[in-house]
């Protein structure tokens, strides 16, 4: 990846990428991959498909780069693709009846050693499990709002739903998340 | 205001701006209700818990991901180019066969006309040769005679 491209803005990189400069597109991938992967991980949990779907997000964006008019921020646009692909993946899993395995509350294992300090990996696992216990629609709003840090208004725009619906889903999601975390052994 | 309404207000306050009146209602409820204060604290902690960056990712992982994406893009581009060439080649191959098939069809058609009509004139090709006979058949005087 060319070092000199790292300092360019998103708009400039997009212009270069549209002109066929793949190095510029690689900088975009590098810049937003963590945000995209965090969204997908929040939606699907830590599974092998996260990386594949993450790559698919950028490939789809590359193919449709001319469709991006800059109305939304690039991160918002990529996150929207990530959410849609994650929902598709969940739909596929549902069709294969795998989702019940992932979502059944009984299947949530307890954290074995509660006296151990919260290491980052355990922490991530805990969050993943808590998120996976939420309903699909609630998960999308909570991932965008709490994991990705988008504002409620941005979440509403991204999911194309009224602000009131987002607020009520957030409220339900927070309650369910709280319950799931307690069930998994997290105590405040 | 009942307890559930206050809880709703509390949760709403985490995601949206409250009106001045709502803010005042929530503030006074929080002052008087220890349980509500505890709930607020729990919600804030959950929120903080979720904001923690997911896993430490090294520069190596980042580069590997970027390379994987760019490799796939290059592969797709190559596939697209080769499929375009294939289509052109196929068209080139198909055209002579198509032309030969058309010529064969014409020859069969002409042969069929020749066999049924006994000759291969313009009238036969246009299907006008039988009109004369039809005229005889439909002529009542001809039938009478």
Select from B15, B43, B70 the Cβ nearest to the Cβ of A26: B70
How far is residue A159's CA from residue B19's CA, in Å, rounded to a whole number?
A: 25
Mutate to test the interface with B, among A174, A176, A181 (most CBs of B within 10 A): A174
Residues A19-74: tens digit of each pLDDT: 989 999 999 999 999 889 988 988 888 677 889 999 999 999 999 998 888 878 89
CB atoms within 10 A of CB B46: 23
List the single range of A168-182, B6-20, B76-90, B109-123 with lowest mean pLDDT. B76-90
> Positive or negative, the Cα torsion across A114, A118, A121, A127?
positive
Nearest 5 degrees, angle CA B87-CA B93-CA B95?
100
Tell the burial category of A83 from Cβ atoms under 10 Å away from its Cβ (0-12, 13-18, 19+).
Answer: buried
CB atoms within 10 A of CB A127: 26
- Give A3's DSSP letter: G
Query: Residue A56 is encoded by which pair of tokens?
Result: 């698919």
B115 and chain A in contact, CB less than 8 A: no
User: What band does B132 get if pLDDT is binned at 50, 70 and 90?
Assistant: low
Closest CA to A29 of A84, A89, A64, A74: A74
How far is residue B132's CA from residue A128's CA, in Å, rounded to a whole number?
A: 90
How far is residue A174's CA from residue A178's CA, in Å, rounded to a whole number?
A: 6
Helix (H, G, I), strand (E, B) or coil at B101: helix
- Could you tell me the domains of chain A? 1-101 (1.10.1740.10), 104-188 (1.10.10.10)
B72 and chain A in contact, CB less than 8 A: yes
B49 and chain A in contact, CB less than 8 A: yes
Distances (CA, A) of A30 to A36, A51, A54: 11, 13, 12
Q: What's the pLDDT score for residue B72? A: 92
- Give A47's DSSP letter: -
Q: What's the pLDDT score for residue A99? A: 47
Residues A124-140: tens digit of each pLDDT: 777 888 888 888 888 99
User: What band does B137 get if pLDDT is binned at 50, 70 and 90?
Assistant: low
> pLDDT at residue A114 above 50?
no
């Amino acid at each position: 990846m060319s070092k000199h491209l790292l300092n360019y803005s998103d708009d400039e990189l997009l212009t270069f990428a549209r002109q066929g400069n793949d190095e510029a597109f690689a900088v975009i991938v590098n810049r937003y991959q963590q945000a995209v992967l965090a969204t997908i991980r929040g939606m699907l949990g830590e599974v092998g498909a996260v990386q594949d779907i993450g790559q698919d997000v950028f490939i789809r964006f590359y193919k449709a780069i001319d469709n991006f008019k800059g109305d939304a921020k690039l991160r918002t646009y990529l996150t929207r693709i990530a959410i849609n692909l994650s929902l598709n993946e969940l739909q596929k899993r549902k069709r294969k009846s795998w989702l019940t395995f992932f979502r059944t509350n009984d299947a949530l294992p307890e954290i074995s050693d509660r006296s151990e300090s919260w290491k980052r990996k355990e922490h991530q696992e805990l969050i993943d499990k808590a998120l996976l216990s939420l309903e699909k629609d609630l998960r999308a709003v909570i991932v965008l709002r709490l994991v990705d840090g988008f504002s409620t208004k941005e979440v509403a725009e991204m999911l194309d739903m009224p602000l009131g619906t987002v607020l009520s889903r957030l409220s339900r999601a927070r309650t369910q998340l709280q319950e799931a975390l307690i069930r998994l052994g997290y105590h405040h | 205001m009942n307890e559930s309404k206050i809880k709703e207000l509390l949760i709403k306050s985490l995601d949206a701006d409250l009106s001045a009146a709502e803010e005042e209602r929530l503030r006074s409820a929080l002052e008087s209700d220890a349980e509500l204060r505890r709930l607020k604290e729990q919600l804030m902690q959950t929120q903080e818990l979720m904001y923690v960056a997911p896993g430490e990712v090294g520069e190596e992982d980042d580069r590997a991901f970027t390379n994987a994406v760019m490799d796939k893009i290059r592969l797709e581009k190559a596939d697209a180019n080769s499929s375009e060439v294939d289509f052109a080649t196929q068209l080139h191959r198909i055209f002579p066969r198509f032309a030969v098939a058309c010529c064969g069809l014409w020859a069969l058609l002409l042969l069929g006309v020749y066999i049924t009509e006994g000759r291969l004139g313009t009238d036969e090709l246009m299907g006008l040769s039988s009109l004369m006979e039809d005229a005889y058949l439909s002529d009542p005087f001809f039938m009478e005679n």
